[in-house]
Each structure stands twice: as structure tokens, then as C-alpha cells.
Amino acid sequence: MTGPRRFLVQLAPDRWRAVDLADVYLVEARGDDTAVRLRSKHRLIDVRRLSDLDRLLTPLGFVRIHRSYLVNPGRILELRRREGTRGWEVVMEPPVNRVLPVAEGKMEAVREGIGASSPG
């Protein structure tokens, strides 16, 4: 990732927490708020919408893989086909270990974010 190494999570209108971008695994929409999942298995709740964080984090290397998820491509462990479908999913590195769907048309962005060649 290029640019800043830290990111401010807005916990409340008057409270912010600085986190290292490398420690952010994924960002998940939660209604009007957004859950920021960190390396420590903990999550912080940012009071902003995912679309607001998308505008901030995409230029820093994060990838929007689904309407509900932004991921740090440096924390993707595996890309695989969803069982019984033509769709794809990503497996995040430990300790998060989440399996997330990749929306149709988003695999190219995921591959570019990882810096890898296309899977078959």
C-alpha cells in the first residue's frame, strides 16, 4: 500500500482512534455504521457508512469486493470458487479467518489488488 500508514476510525462524532492500515483486514457495512476488523480479532465500529470509508480507503489500496465489504488485499490468504457456484470468495488470513463473497465483476479488482495473475 502506498500513502499513509495509519487510518483514523471515527468511534463517535468527537472520538477517533488511529490504527495501522496493515492491521486492518476488512471493513464491513453494519447498517449506518461500519465494522473495522483488525489483526487482533477485535473490531472497531466506525460511525460512518461503508461508502464514506470506501472513498478514503480505496486510494490506499483497499478493494471493494462486495456491496458490504472492503478488504485489505495484503491480508487475503486464498481465492477460491464458491462451492456449487460460478462465483468466487476470499479467505482472510488468520487470526480473522473470515470467508467473504466476491461480487460478480469484482475478481479483476481483487487480482489487481493482490498483484497476482488470473486464476483459471
Is 43 in contact with 16 (CB distance < 8 Å)?
A: no
- Indicate the pLDDT class of residue 86, thresholds 50, 70 and 90: confident
Average pLDDT over residues 105-114: 92
Instruction: Determine the residue type at 47.
Output: V
The partner residues of 79 in beta bridges, in order of sequence, read: 90
Phi-psi region of 36 (alpha: psi -120 to 50; beta: other; left: phi over 0): beta
Question: 40: which residues sit within 8 A by CB, 6+ positions away?
Answer: 23, 95
Q: What is the pLDDT of residue 116?
A: 67
Q: How far apart are CA 66 and CA 69, in angstroms?
A: 5
Question: 95: which residues sit within 8 A by CB, 6+ positions away?
Answer: 39, 40, 41
pTM (two decimals): 0.88
- Indicate the pLDDT class of residue 107, thresholds 50, 70 and 90: very high
Residue, of 86 and 55, whose pLDDT is higher: 55
Q: Quick: pLDDT tens for 26-62.
A: 999 999 999 999 998 789 999 999 999 999 999 999 9
Q: How far apart are CA 6 and CA 85, in angstroms?
A: 37
In the predicted structure, residue 110 carries a pLDDT above the cut 60: yes
Show the domains of the chain with their CATH numbers.
Answer: 6-114 (2.40.50.1020)
